[in-house]
Structure 1
Amino acid sequence: MRYIGAILILLSLASNGQFNPEQIEIIRDEWGVPHIYAPTDAQVSYGLAWAHAEDDFKTIQEILLAAKQMMGRHLGRDGAPIDYVVGLLRCEDIVNQHLPEVDPAFIKIVQGYTAGINAYAANHKDEVLVKKAFPVTLKDVFKAYVLQLAVQDGADNLIRNLFDGKVDTIDFETKGSNAFAISRQKTTSDEVFLAINSHQPLEGPAAWYEAHLVSDEGWNMLGGLFPGGPVIFHGTNEHLGWAHTVNYFDKRDVFQLEMHPENDDLYRLDDEWLELEKRKVKLKVKVFLGLKIGVKRDAYYSKYGPVVKNSKGAFAFKMSVFDEIRAIEQWYKMNKAQNLTEFKKALSLTAIPSFNIVYADKYDSLYYVGNGKIPLRNSNYDWSTTLPGNTSETLSDGYHTFKDLPQLTNPPSGYLFNTNNGAFNATAAKDNLSLADFDQTMGYRAFDNNRSYRFMELIDQYETLSWDDFLDMKYDATLPDSLVYWIDLNPVFDLEPSLADSASQILEIIQRWDKSARADKIGPAHLNILYKGLARISDKIDINNISTEQYIKAIDYVRRYLLRYFGKIDVTLGEYQKLVRGEEEYPIGGLPDVIAAMYADYMGEGKVRAKTGESYIMMVRYPKAGLPIIETTNVFGASNRPESPHYDDQIPLFLNRERKQMTLDIDEVRENAKRIYHPK
């Protein structure tokens, strides 16, 4: 019945002209950030699609092309593997199966988005990457988010490792995000503080876009979203806000199938031999001058999920995104919540497959949940490794409810935080949850990282915090006293410099360094090069028991590296690490796993280019009365088009750790607008 209702809604939208562009305003502020106003939420989503396309139509298209299995037509052979993965994951089947579960009211929102993006494509045909890609449909948007959320939860690496014969693939990485919430009892200004500080790629399909969405139906939300998103993913409305960080529990189950000795398409399940379902995934690949060739590749499926065959056997895998498409609906309901009770009601959908949530509101409520959609698993098996795929005992049946998840509300300490550390260190030690109280098959871990240790060092200094103290904490770029990187670097700080011979000056620089990763510091580049040097030979050494000789060789590698590329050893981090936009490059601070983190890839001539880390920053204060006070920065600017003045205009703010003032008062936005227009 819900599906029939959804179809009737779509037909009515098509027939009554509900997406009249004349009723939709795109209001651009001095920074080019779009503030979208319309009478209805669906119209707002239409305007968001148009405004975002004005700023980054290419990336939005690539998200949708992947969902439509048309990346091969766009990128040729490089795009074909993406199309195969979409077929292997059966994104279309997932959407078809679960679309009836979506609230018909939310279908209107997605329909508004598709109408907006299709209208933009129709009016800008010269920008369309693949001619047959438009119009996109409601299902295409849902398929895009099945794929993106699967990738967020590691499907791409899992599939790659399965094809390579590497089946144990659960890794705890240092990359991630920060979220801090401080209650009124702990602030000197009698305000609630919230830091929204996700560490995402600076460019591409998972880079943040800032927007403000306002309707007469009660939508008033400012924050960040990814290309193709019809709602805000994290940010603040008039009443409350939240931040996401990536969390680590058991998100992927891998099963080794027992294959028939004489028929490699049959697998055992209990006392039966079942046939793998096989489909031909049709790939269209552009090869030269627009010429397209058709390719077919087999994709297999079992009762355990998609199947990959490799030299070790046949392996199936299961992820919660295979059973759920309402994640963006849940984000929408979080957008519209007006208090913690309504926010928790939205979370009770458990449709967002992962991500920690740190929440604060104007009512002085703080809340944390190690969110996830987690299967109910048989406790007789070790779910942290590859499982037997020949018994119904390892076929999960249903999912944990929201109440099963680790969560804290208003801890007596007056603060909550997460830096991608485990769910069991979210506040003062006496107020924390215990891992032992939760189902062990969920796969949660109790662990900390450099950022969580550093946050604890900082927060312990304060009985109460001023706003400036909070900003200092958010922008802190100093490593903790003891490091917890994957490779143990702590012994380096105690080595006798004379042991390093010609590299003794390098060792002395590292040991004198105050562990601050500011761009003007001498020392952080040396530690980063040392770490990368050890990582290059990690398969040849015991990273948990590195010898003095191996450390000395790595330190000498740093000396040779700096002399080769810079002609000196006293190199600052900013000389070595660059923020690059177009043809311009800028010195930038930050190291992996400091609070103000930055992760970089090699760019040539000895330098590295910032790739992931500090990106969209939102700092919020909730006074007792009135709207929240909001300050934001997005690493480059509001537009991804090089010809736009907003392509790089926020870089000075970003580098100087400054922010622009934002508001949820749409009248104030209009009063100070640089441009107001309709999407046509």
Structure 2
Amino acid sequence: MITIASLPKLCLATLLVGLGLSAQARDVPDDIHAEIRRTTFGVPHILASDDRSLGYGIGYAYGQDNLCLLANEVLTVNGQRSRYFGPQQRTLEQRENLTSDLFFTWLNTPTSVSAFWQAQPAPIQALLEGYAKGFNRALAERTTQGLPEECRQAQWLRPITAFDLVKLTRRLLVEGGVGQFAEAVVGAKPPTVAAQRGTHEFHLAMERQQRFALERGSNAVAVGRERSATGRGMLLANPHFPWGGGMRFYQMHLTVPGQLDVMGAALPGLPVINIGFNQHLAWTHTVDASRHFTLHRLQLDPKDSTRYLLDGQSLPLDRQQLSVTVKGADGQLSTVTRELFSSRFGPVVQWPGRLDWTSQVAYSLRDANLDNTRVLQQWHAINQADSLAALQDSVQRLQGIPWVNTLATDAAGQTLYMNFSVVPYVDTDLLGRCSDPAAGLEMIVLDGSRSACNWKVDARAAQPGIFPTQMQPHLSRADFVQHSNDTAWLANPAEPLTGFSPLISRDSLPLGPRSRFALTRLEQPGKLDAQDLKQMVMDDQVYLADVLLPDLLKWCAGERDDASLKTVCDSLAAWDRRANLESGLGLVHFQSIMQALQKQGGFWRVPFSPADPWYTPRGLAYERADVAAKLREALRASAQQVAQAGLVEQRQWGQIQQAADGTPIHGGPANLGVYNAIQSVEVAPGKRLVVSGTSYLQLVTFDDKGPKAQGLLVFSQSSEAASPHGGDQTRAFSAKQWYPTPFTEAQIKADPQYHSLVIRATDSADKAVQREAQSAEAPRG
């Protein structure tokens, strides 16, 4: 088990793997200081003279707002949840603690973490060291002042190290790959050993995989000078990320005079901006449709199911002993040990009924992002880019983007789309020779018995075994580019992106309803302005309602004699086809009906046509007896569900879907074409809790003076219920009120909530508390 409880243990563990200097042992300057200027909603604008001081300010500000959140995520990526909460309790992602701990103990070995650290250039190391130091200062101060309720009694609360931040980064890297197979990694057993994981855990894992694109999806639009009303670039960033945990965005502004001036949102523990803007350009990301891992079917040695055949040679599977400390029901600690198996491709994975380990075959998973040590350098380079060309050059050179597309625009009105993420170099030829046709293309399974079936290597790529960017999709245009988690195919229909490996992008696939909605809005005649982009989100239009509801209501008109359907049909007819707070029960019924139809399929009047991807499929084939039967069943089921939930006809959507503090939230399911995608789960009859969806809204335009931004961090800056910034932006979002984003010095200091705090590493804890109290009492600018 990896346990980093103090600096000496960290240094010892590091020395054991041959690292000369640890992240915390190096000599660092004493004059580490930063100025944190807060504006409306508590957004921090962090000013520092060097990278270490900047990291210090970032970590401190984050610790002020999200102390418990980051500490809890650090506990997770160190594989220590079972020690404090017990092995059977669950993580935020509904994974058993023991499974989570074993997985992260495997992922974040001292060797892997040290190798990642050693690969970082000095500025990144300085940022990480500063971040840890700043967070620990916030921890010390808040311990003196009184810890937040969320972790007031936490025995697991401790200072963090730069290595903890590396572990958080490595967790982010594998989100699009092996991170979705934690149960399959830790549960893999030879056929002679009884399986130790129940099918229920794998059922939950399958649900998580299916939700991945929903919980980490996004919309993005970059408008160029040909379509922009101002003749300059405009960018709408609308990422859909979880509202809690390790993927919860944080808004901040980072400045090192003469080197860096960037603003936007970052994930916990990262000292860089992931989505944002600077003086010259604005950019965002969307989860891509590329494949970032492959499975390799191993042909096992007939004499021993823990050996596999590669090019006719029998090789032993590598064995790795993992130990996790667990707390029993009596509070006593004990050690649980598991043995994990790996081939030269990666860990053996076992998924009952899906990826079985038999006496003949087993499956090994290779994740391209396990070797991606460039991710922090990549965003740091993007943050510093002074042009679209510089941004594109940095991504082509570093190839550090893990599993997202990049869309950007600049003040001159040029737009850019790139699917330059880390993708295994498996081209069409290799697929034809080595893949299992029965597995299809949703999960790539290669022949693991032949070395010739491993990933290809191209010297142009930043990492062996991945595609060079010269073979990946990108598009530069002066009208627009857009993306909503489909393939790269129709980022702009006027210039389709075709001919790529199926692992990168596939042609002629149906567009998702959010992409169809976006293209409908973008292709309307005339120029586009900022309000047009804003309304794409705030209109809360349910795109599939416009496509299907007219036919559904026609069918309802022919079913007037069926009293069991009348209430639902009346609700549908009265519904405004929106997911607004005041939208009625028709929205609830439409969701239920569409869920039933989409599960069964075969209901479209006009099927999908690659020649008309924008407007197909469309229409409801209600004249067909089989579709009519499905409709009757779906409407009756919806009526029953609404009745059981106690929802009266006057109930509005805002009374049903709410944030944790009870704030009503507009928006709805992405699979219905709601651009303002909000995912909520039922927590009580007639009540739904928002868990993910629209998270950080950023709308950037440019004028002669530079960028002009507006937006919201929808779930607010702080994850602490008692914080004044724990729900203020959530309430603004509920009211559909976006706010200007202060960026220049004049804008920052003119903000009505402006206040400043200077922090120095040489301050004592008592002096720091006194300094902060004085800052809080200072007059606002």
Contact 1:497 1:504 in 2 (8 A): no
For residue 527 of structure 1, report the CA deviation from its aligned partner. Answer: 1.1
Please say if 1:148 is aligned against 2:228.
no
2:43 corresponding residue in structure 1: 33
Contact 2:644 2:685 in 1 (8 A): no
Q: What is the CA–CA distance in structure 2 between the aligned matches of 1:130 and 1:580, rounded to whole Å?
A: 22
Please say if 1:474 is aligned against 2:540.
no
For residue 144 of structure 1, report the CA deviation from its aligned partner. Answer: 1.6
Alignment of 1:115-264 (within 5 A): 115-125=133-143, 127=147, 134-151=158-175, 153-160=176-183, 173=213, 176-264=217-305
1:286 corresponding residue in structure 2: 327
Identical-pair percentage: 22
Please say if 1:563 is aligned against 2:622.
no
Letter in 2 for 1:251: H
Q: What is the CA–CA distance in structure 2 between the aligned matches of 1:489 and 1:371, rounded to whole Å?
A: 39
2:588 corresponding residue in structure 1: 525
Please say if 1:461 is aligned against 2:524.
yes
Instruction: Summarize deviations over 1:412-433 as a string: whole Å, max 9, x none.
Output: xx11111112211112x22232
1:599 corresponding residue in structure 2: 679
For residue 338 of structure 1, report the CA deviation from its aligned partner. Answer: 0.8
Instruction: Summarize deviations over 1:301-334 as a string: whole Å, max 9, x none.
Output: 1101011245521321111111112211211111
Alignment of 1:375-386 (within 5 A): 375-377=424-426, 378-379=430-431, 380-382=433-435, 384=441, 385-386=444-445
Q: What is the CA–CA distance in structure 2 between the aligned matches of 1:588 and 1:11, rounded to whole Å?
A: 46
Mark the CA change 1:218 to 1:346 in structure 2 (over 3 Å): closer, same or farther.
Answer: same
1:419 corresponding residue in structure 2: 484
For residue 644 of structure 1, report the CA deviation from its aligned partner. Answer: 1.6
Q: What is the CA–CA distance in structure 2 between the aligned matches of 1:386 and 1:489, rounded to whole Å?
A: 40
Q: What is the CA–CA distance in structure 2 between the aligned matches of 1:279 and 1:502, rounded to whole Å?
A: 60
Mark the CA change 1:122 to 1:270 in structure 2 (over 3 Å): closer, same or farther.
Answer: farther
Contact 1:35 1:213 in 2 (8 A): yes
Letter in 1 for 2:224: S
1:666 corresponding residue in structure 2: 745
Mark the CA change 1:82 to 1:168 in structure 2 (over 3 Å): closer, same or farther.
Answer: closer
Q: What is the CA–CA distance in structure 1 between the aligned matches of 2:118 and 2:159, rounded to whole Å?
A: 22
2:395 corresponding residue in structure 1: 347
Contact 1:41 1:219 in 2 (8 A): no
Instruction: Summarize deviations over 1:356-401 as a string: whole Å, max 9, x none.
Output: 1110111222100123111222242337343322221222142111
Per the normalisation by structure 2, the TM-score is 0.78
For residue 617 of structure 1, report the CA deviation from its aligned partner. Answer: 0.6
Contact 1:529 1:558 in 2 (8 A): yes
1:86 corresponding residue in structure 2: 104
| Structure 2 counterpart of 1:102, from 104, 115, 120 | 120
For residue 133 of structure 1, report the CA deviation from its aligned partner. Answer: 6.9
Q: What is the CA–CA distance in structure 2 between the aligned matches of 1:146 and 1:12, rounded to whole Å?
A: 22
Letter in 1 for 2:697: I
Contact 1:525 1:576 in 2 (8 A): no
Please say if 1:14 is aligned against 2:7.
no
2:712 corresponding residue in structure 1: 633
Contact 1:369 1:406 in 2 (8 A): yes
Letter in 1 for 2:410: D
| Structure 2 counterpart of 1:502, from 539, 550, 564 | 564
Q: What is the CA–CA distance in structure 2 between the aligned matches of 1:52 and 1:670, rounded to whole Å?
A: 21
Letter in 1 for 2:390: E
Letter in 2 for 1:155: V
Contact 1:525 1:571 in 2 (8 A): no
Contact 2:82 2:324 in 1 (8 A): yes
| Structure 2 counterpart of 1:301, from 342, 350, 354 | 342
Alignment of 1:67-82 (within 5 A): 67-77=77-87, 78=89, 79-82=97-100
Contact 1:38 1:214 in 2 (8 A): yes
Please say if 1:371 is aligned against 2:420.
yes
Q: Secondary structure at the match of 1:503?
A: helix
Contact 2:579 2:666 in 1 (8 A): no
Mark the CA change 1:566 to 1:269 in structure 2 (over 3 Å): closer, same or farther.
Answer: same
1:657 corresponding residue in structure 2: 736
2:61 corresponding residue in structure 1: 51
Extract unaligned runs of 5+ from structure 1.
none
Letter in 1 for 2:646: F
Q: Secondary structure at the match of 1:136?
A: coil
Contact 1:38 1:215 in 2 (8 A): yes
Contact 1:94 1:322 in 2 (8 A): no
1:360 corresponding residue in structure 2: 409
Q: What is the CA–CA distance in structure 2 between the aligned matches of 1:207 and 1:390, rounded to whole Å?
A: 41
Q: What is the CA–CA distance in structure 2 between the aligned matches of 1:567 and 1:250, rounded to whole Å?
A: 42
Instruction: Summarize deviations over 1:215-271 as a string: whole Å, max 9, x none.
Output: 124211111111111111111111111011111112221122222233222111111
Contact 1:150 1:321 in 2 (8 A): yes
Mark the CA change 1:121 to 1:308 in structure 2 (over 3 Å): closer, same or farther.
Answer: same
For residue 42 of structure 1, report the CA deviation from its aligned partner. Answer: 2.3
For residue 288 of structure 1, report the CA deviation from its aligned partner. Answer: 5.1
Alignment of 1:308-457 (within 5 A): 308-309=349-350, 312-313=356-357, 314-348=362-396, 349-377=398-426, 378-379=430-431, 380-382=433-435, 384=441, 385-397=444-456, 398-411=465-478, 414-427=479-492, 429-433=493-497, 435-436=498-499, 438-444=500-506, 446-457=509-520
Mark the CA change 1:334 to 1:575 in structure 2 (over 3 Å): closer, same or farther.
Answer: same
Mark the CA change 1:466 to 1:666 in structure 2 (over 3 Å): closer, same or farther.
Answer: same
For residue 506 of structure 1, report the CA deviation from its aligned partner. Answer: 0.8
Instruction: Summarize deviations over 1:432-476 as a string: whole Å, max 9, x none.
Output: 32x22x234535454411111111111222320233223222323
Contact 1:222 1:232 in 2 (8 A): yes
Q: How many equivalent pairs are there?
A: 657
Contact 1:243 1:359 in 2 (8 A): yes
Q: What is the CA–CA distance in structure 2 between the aligned matches of 1:12 and 1:337, rounded to whole Å?
A: 32
Mark the CA change 1:213 to 1:567 in structure 2 (over 3 Å): closer, same or farther.
Answer: closer
Q: What is the CA–CA distance in structure 2 between the aligned matches of 1:317 and 1:393, rounded to whole Å?
A: 17
Letter in 2 for 1:61: A
1:586 corresponding residue in structure 2: 664
Contact 2:546 2:577 in 1 (8 A): no
For residue 190 of structure 1, report the CA deviation from its aligned partner. Answer: 3.4
Q: What is the CA–CA distance in structure 2 between the aligned matches of 1:296 and 1:465, rounded to whole Å?
A: 60
| Structure 2 counterpart of 1:554, from 634, 647, 662 | 634
For residue 669 of structure 1, report the CA deviation from its aligned partner. Answer: 1.7
Q: What is the CA–CA distance in structure 2 between the aligned matches of 1:53 and 1:328, rounded to whole Å?
A: 20
Q: What is the CA–CA distance in structure 2 between the aligned matches of 1:493 and 1:346, rounded to whole Å?
A: 53
Q: What is the CA–CA distance in structure 2 between the aligned matches of 1:293 and 1:549, rounded to whole Å?
A: 57
After TM superposition, the structure 1 stretch with the greater mean CA deviation from structure 2, 97-106 or 209-218, is 97-106
Q: What is the CA–CA distance in structure 2 between the aligned matches of 1:273 and 1:483, rounded to whole Å?
A: 60
Q: What is the CA–CA distance in structure 2 between the aligned matches of 1:270 and 1:340, rounded to whole Å?
A: 46
For residue 586 of structure 1, report the CA deviation from its aligned partner. Answer: 2.1
Letter in 1 for 2:127: I
Give the alignment's Cα RMSD to 1 decimal.
Answer: 3.0
Contact 2:52 2:127 in 1 (8 A): yes
Mark the CA change 1:543 to 1:81 in structure 2 (over 3 Å): closer, same or farther.
Answer: farther
Instruction: Summarize deviations over 1:277-311 as a string: whole Å, max 9, x none.
Output: 11111101233576422111111111010112455
Mark the CA change 1:174 to 1:147 in structure 2 (over 3 Å): closer, same or farther.
Answer: closer
